[in-house]
C-alpha cells in the first residue's frame, strides 16, 4: 500500500510523529480492506479484530510529502487470533523506516474470541511467504508449524526427512512454478514448535490440518525419507487428500529389531550429548560420497541444520520412526501417479530398495539421480527439480 506522509502527522521538528507511524500502519491495513471486500467486511462477518499486542521498531525518520510503501504480511494464523508484520519503506532512497508486529484476537459482539474470517488469508497475502525462505506460522492444533509457501496453482506439499528441515527442498520450492509449493517444518524441527507427542500419526495429522488451514483439498505429496514414512501414513489414513506421490530416498519397511536398537542408542546420544553428536554421527551417512568430497559448503549447511534442531524434536522423531508400521502392504493399494527418486550414492535407502518399492506400486516410475546421496533434492538440486517438473507436467 503506497501512502503519503502529511504535514499534520509531523512534529515541531518536521519528523513523522512516533504515534503517526502506527496510524500509517493502521491506515494501510484498512485501505487493504477498503480496496478489497470493503470497509464493512468485519461488521458483515459479525467479528471485530482487537489488537492484543503491538511492537514497533523505529529505524529512520520520515518527512512531510514522503511517499512510503507499507507491506503487510500475515505471519501467524490461529483459530481466533492472527499476527501481522508490517514494514514501512521509502522507495525514493530504498530505506526501511519502521517495522511493526501486531497480534489480533477476533472477538464477536459479546466480546468473546471467535474464528478468524477465511478471507483474511487472501487479504494479507499468507498464500505466499514474504521473502525467500521466510516462514509463515500456522496453528495446526497441538503445535504451530513454520511453513514456506510460494506460488499459485495445484498444491504440492513437501515433507522433509530426519533430522532436517524444510530447507532441503529450497531449490524445488523456488523453481517449480505453476504449483502452490508448501514446505512445512515438522513438529520439533526447524522453525516449528517442539511438541509433547511424536508419532507418524501426529506428523500426518499436522500435514492434513495444515492443508485444511490452507483450504487445500488435495495435494501432490513429496516426502523424503522420514517424510516418505509420513506420506505413507497419509496414504493409510488420508488417501482422499493425495493427488500424486513423490517418494524420495525412502522405503516402506518398518525398522528391524536391530534398527529399533539403533534408534534407542541415538535417543540416548541426543539426550546425553546433544544435537552436535547426532550431526557427527549422521553427516557421513546422509550425504553421498561425492557431496562429502566436493561440496564442503553443503556439508556445513546440513551439519548446521542438524545441530540447530531441538533435542526433543530429534528424540521424538526417533521414537516415531522406531514405532512406525510396515507400509509394504500399502504399496499395491496406491492408485495415484507415483514417482520414486533415489540418489545413486544413497546408502540408507539405496537404489535396489527404491527399485523394489517402485515395482510394488502400480504404474510408478523411478529415477536414479547420479552422484547424490540420501538428500538428493539438496545434493543434486537442479537434476531433482527437473525430474519433479517432468513428473508434475505429466499430471496435466
Which positions lie near ligand MLT, rule CB under 6 A? Answer: 161-162, 225-226, 321, 348, 374
What is the total residue count of the chain?
A: 396
For CA atoms 31, 85, 76, 321, give the dihedral sign: positive
Considering beta carbons, is residue 317 or 383 the nearer one to ligand MLT?
Answer: 317
- 220/318 with CB nearer ligand MLT: 318
- Work out how close the CB of 1 gets to ligand MLT at its nearest, in angstroms, rounded to a whole number: 43
Gyration radius from the chain CA atoms: 23
Kindly state the smallest distance separating residue 224's Cβ from ligand MLT, in Å.
Answer: 7
DSSP 41: H
CB of 173 to ligand MLT, least distance (A): 18
Closer to ligand MLT by Cβ: residue 225 or 338: 225
State the minimum distance, in angstroms, from the CB of residue 304 to ligand MLT.
Answer: 16
Least gap, CB of 161 to ligand MLT (angstroms): 3
> Helix, strand, coil proportions of the chain in percent (round to 5)?
40, 25, 35
With CA atoms as reference, report the closest residue to 220 among 203, 206, 237, 234: 234
Query: Considering beta carbons, is residue 124 or 162 the nearer one to ligand MLT?
Result: 162
The cell numbers describing 179, all together, are 504449483
Bridge partner list, 87:
71, 99
Cβ nearer to ligand MLT, comparing 38 with 259 = 259
* Minimum gap (Å) between residue 291 Cβ and ligand MLT: 14
Q: Which is nearer to ligand MLT, 100 or 195 (CB)?
A: 195
Q: Residue 184: which residues within 8 A CB-CB, separation 6 or more?
A: 138, 145, 146, 147, 148, 157, 158, 159, 166, 192, 206, 207, 210
Amino acid at each position: 500500500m503506497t501512502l503519503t506522509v502529511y504535514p499534520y502527522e509531523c512534529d515541531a521538528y518536521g519528523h513523522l510523529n512516533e504515534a503517526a507511524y502506527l496510524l500509517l500502519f493502521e491506515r494501510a491495513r484498512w485501505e487493504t480492506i477498503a480496496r478489497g471486500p470493503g470497509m464493512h467486511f468485519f461488521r458483515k462477518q459479525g467479528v471485530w479484530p482487537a489488537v492484543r499486542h503491538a511492537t514497533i521498531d523505529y529505524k529512520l525518520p520520515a518527512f512531510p510529502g514522503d511517499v512510503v510503501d507499507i507491506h503487510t504480511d500475515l505471519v501467524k494464523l490461529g483459530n481466533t487470533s492472527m499476527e501481522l508484520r508490517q514494514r514501512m519503506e521509502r522507495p525514493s532512497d530504498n530505506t526501511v523506516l519502521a517495522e511493526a508486529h501486531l497480534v489480533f484476537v477476533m472477538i464477536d459482539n459479546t466480546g468473546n474470541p471467535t474464528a478468524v474470517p477465511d478471507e483474511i488469508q487472501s487479504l494479507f497475502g499468507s498464500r505466499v511467504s514474504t521473502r525467500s525462505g521466510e516462514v509463515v506460522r500456522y496453528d495446526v492444533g497441538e503445535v504451530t508449524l513454520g511453513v514456506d509457501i510460494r506460488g499459485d496453482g495445484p498444491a504440492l506439499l513437501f515433507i522433509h526427512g530426519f533430522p532436517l528441515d524444510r530447507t532441503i527442498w529450497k531449490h524445488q520450492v523456488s523453481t517449480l512454478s505453476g504449483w502452490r509449493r508448501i514446505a512445512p517444518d515438522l513438529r520439533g524441527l526447524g522453525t516449528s514448535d517442539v511438541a509433547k507427542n511424536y508419532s507418524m500419526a501426529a506428523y500426518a495429522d499436522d500435514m492434513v490440518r495444515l492443508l485444511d488451514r490452507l483450504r487445500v483439498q488435495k495435494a501432490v505429496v513429496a516426502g523424503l525419507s522420514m517424510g516418505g514414512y509420513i506420506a505413507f501414513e497419509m496414504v493409510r489414513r488420508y488417501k482422499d487428500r493425495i493427488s500424486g506421490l513423490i517418494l524420495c530416498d525412502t522405503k516402506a519397511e518398518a525398522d528391524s529389531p536391530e534398527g529399533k536398537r539403533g534408534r534407542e542408542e541415538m535417543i540416548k546420544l541426543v539426550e546425553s550429548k546433544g544435537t552436535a553428536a547426532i550431526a557427527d554421527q549422521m553427516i557421513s551417512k546422509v550425504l553421498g560420497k561425492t557431496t562429502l568430497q566436493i561440496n564442503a559448503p553443503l556439508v556445513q549447511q546440513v551439519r548446521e541444520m542438524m545441530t540447530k534442531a531441538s533435542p526433543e524434536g530429534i528424540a521424538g522423531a526417533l521414537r516415531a520412526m522406531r514405532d512406525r508400521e510396515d507400509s509394504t502392504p500399502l504399496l499395491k493399494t496406491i492408485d495415484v501417479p507415483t514417482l520414486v527418486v533415489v540418489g545413486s550414492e544413497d546408502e540408507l535407502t539405496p537404489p535396489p530398495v527404491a527399485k523394489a518399492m517402485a515395482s510394488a506400486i502400480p504404474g510408478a516410475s523411478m529415477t536414479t539421480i547420479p552422484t547424490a546421496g540420501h538428500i538428493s533434492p539438496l545434493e543434486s538440486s537442479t537434476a531433482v527439480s527437473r525430474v519433479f517438473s517432468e513428473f508434475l507436467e505429466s499430471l496435466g
